[in-house]
Structure 1
Amino acid sequence: MQHVERVVVLALDGVYPFELGIPSRIFGAADGHYEVLTCTVDGRPVRTNADFSVAVEHGPEILETADTVVVASMATPRIPEGLPAEIAAALARIRPDARIVSICTAAFVLAAAGLLDGRRATTHWQVVDRFRALYPQVDLDPDVLFVQDGRILTSAGAASGVDICLHIVRTDHGSELANAVARSCVVPPFRDGGQAQYIQQPVPDCGVTSTAATRDWALTRLDEPLALTDLARHAGMSLRTFARRFNDEVGLSPGRWLIQQRVARARDLLEASDLSVDQIAGRVGFATGASLRQHLHAAIGVSPQAYRRTFQETR
């Protein structure tokens, strides 16, 4: 008989409705492998950060039965100072072997409870300075979408809750089911890169040329051996100015960005075509099939053959 993992979502005051619904949406699409229940610290409705409250079916006692507990994020002004007694009492009900997950600002709750002491963790990039000031004992990594450190998992802002829930499905049941869930929810099964690509950068001074046109130009020429000099020349900038401005706007160096785009294009071709690995490598600008294998494995941890097999079987 199939084991059904019980996931209990804890909704706190000021919870974001979007993040609160992520576990139910992702795990609920996983072919009956998970049961998702929602609770509050006292079983009563909680205010959201929107113009409505949510009523739940369960109080904190349901946390005692959870295989996985997800603490949903709350609006920044509602982040509790320290650990309020009612939240501490609720968290104390969690079994010692249960997996505990935070989405976005809920990392503050786990940190206040001491669950992140000495562990690597992440949270939304906008509250990194505040988090570090309050919890210097946590090894905070603001550049990633999610972190798993043993049984504790933390994720960055908002939609990274989708990434971490898909990671859990992938860890528990393999890539095929995770990919099927992602397709059902119309989200990417795995997002390359970290938070840097989403961090708001200072707006360039008026009259300063953006690198956007050059990025668009490069995307139509990924099969060519584009060098930094080619990109800078197209943008009409010096090498140093182009590299600095590109990094300010994108959060990546031009070289790393090109690799990301080539890997993304290769993944599309692996899913949708029967071209050989060497042929795909040529079409996306990698010198050899071996180079494509190396970069794909570095990005998502699998070979082209494994990636193609997984996605073409679930297509």
Structure 2
Amino acid sequence: MHVVAVLALDKVIPFDLATPIEVFGRLRLADGGRPYEVRACAASATVDAGVFTLQTPWGLDTLLDADTIILPGCEDPASRVPEEVLDHLRKAAAGGARLASVCVGAFILAATGLLDGLRATTHWLAAPALAERFPAVDVDPHVLYVDNGQFLTSAGAAAGLDLCLHLIRRDLGSAVAADAARLAVMPLEREGGQAQFIVPEQPPAPRGAGLEPLLRWMQENTDIDLSLADLAARGGMSIRTLNRRFREQTGTTPLQWLLRARVRRAQHLLETTDQPVEQIAGQVGFGSPTAFRDRFKRITGTSPQNYRTTFRSRLSRSDAAHSSPGSNSPSRATRSSP
């Protein structure tokens, strides 16, 4: 079994710590087996996690037995990492272990020297400090995660989920990773990088205003061939204004948002109906089944047919019988949103 060790240092950020424990620990294969054994470990008997004190069942030696080591961030990224911890991490890496950091956990990984000469990322607010403190590391503040093979880094807390799903996909394939994504109510792969999460000069419009009526209308009309001019006219604005407001309020373009809405609709149809993939492609507004399959795989990480095989089995017969092919409501099996 693949051992995942999650290291808890004093002042560990609870979200960063819990994310890999939950994602890897809850994952099950089709036969019910567990592909990962998760071990929370620490350098001392108790760990100060701020709002609570943590006791872990494993010590630092478990790092040497691990296949993957996850390094959650700590409250103060500039705090000194105990040399004993760094030595164990270096030895684990020399033995072939894969090391991955969550958020400002990149500071811990960088302190080992293992990131020297490599590209890495961290939370965009901490990126300048990481670059200044570790000049040998090529810091990229714009991406959600960086995969160097043995050493991986991720951006802010939610990007830790992206990284965990990426690791699962590397280990077990897209179908299993898609299952993990559904369990986490998370898209398997988010488009864009950290730039979409940086606070803009003008805050997004509050709920009930701005683009919400247009977005709702787009969701209800995914089958229609819509151009930018059509969307701008529906929203009562120019194409330039439409593009600007979409960037401000959704972090993407109108057409990219529409494509993802079409894929969401297709996911529902694949889960709840027996319609052929070719028919579903037309129902959700794609001009050809090939274009549909390409976009679906790009967004979900798997093919429409594999998605149906993986997720339709989760619906009971009664659920399927009572699901209307024309309904926009999600099925009982929770579906992640882009």
Question: Which residue of the partner structure matches residue 44 of structure 2?
Answer: 43
Question: Which residue of the partner structure matches residue 34 of structure 2?
Answer: 32
Secondary structure at the aligned position of 2:147 is classed as: strand
Question: Which residue of the partner structure matches residue 92 of structure 1?
Answer: 90
> C-alpha separation between the residues in 2 aligned to 1:260 and 1:11?
37
The residue type paired with residue 303 of structure 1 is S
The residue type paired with residue 256 of structure 1 is Q
Contact 1:201 / 1:249 at 8 angstroms: preserved in 2?
Answer: no
Give the % identical residues: 42
Question: Which residue of the partner structure matches residue 57 of structure 1?
Answer: 57
Uncovered stretches (5+) of structure 2, i.e. residues with no partner: 28-32, 316-338
Give the superposition deviation at 1:114. 2.4
The residue type paired with residue 151 of structure 1 is Q
Q: Does 1:251 align with 2:248?
A: no
Give the superposition deviation at 1:52. 1.7
> C-alpha separation between the residues in 2 aligned to 1:201 and 1:136?
28
The residue type paired with residue 188 of structure 1 is M
In structure 2, do the counterparts of structure 1 residues 295 and 64 end up closer, same or farther at CA, with 3 Å as the change threshold?
same
> C-alpha separation between the residues in 1 aligned to 2:268 and 2:190?
14
How many residues get paired?
A: 306
Q: Does 1:271 align with 2:268?
A: no
In structure 2, do the counterparts of structure 1 residues 314 and 174 end up closer, same or farther at CA, with 3 Å as the change threshold?
farther
In structure 2, do the counterparts of structure 1 residues 263 and 140 end up closer, same or farther at CA, with 3 Å as the change threshold?
farther
Question: Which residue of the partner structure matches residue 131 of structure 1?
Answer: 130
In structure 2, do the counterparts of structure 1 residues 226 and 127 end up closer, same or farther at CA, with 3 Å as the change threshold?
farther
Question: Which residue of the partner structure matches residue 152 of structure 2?
Answer: 153
In structure 2, do the counterparts of structure 1 residues 204 and 51 end up closer, same or farther at CA, with 3 Å as the change threshold?
closer
Give the superposition deviation at 1:59. 2.6
Question: Which residue of the partner structure matches residue 21 of structure 1?
Answer: 18
2:4 corresponds to which of 7, 21, 28: 7
Give the superposition deviation at 1:139. 4.3
Q: Could you say what the CA RMSD is over the residues aligned between the two structures, in angstroms? A: 2.8
Give the superposition deviation at 1:100. 0.8
Contact 1:7 / 1:34 at 8 angstroms: preserved in 2?
Answer: yes
TM-score (normalizing by structure 2):
0.79
TM-score (normalizing by structure 1):
0.84
In structure 2, do the counterparts of structure 1 residues 255 and 196 end up closer, same or farther at CA, with 3 Å as the change threshold?
farther
Question: Which residue of the partner structure matches residue 169 of structure 1?
Answer: 168
Uncovered stretches (5+) of structure 1, i.e. residues with no partner: none
Higher mean alpha-carbon deviation, 214-223 vs 154-163, is at 154-163
Question: Which residue of the partner structure matches residue 284 of structure 2?
Answer: 284
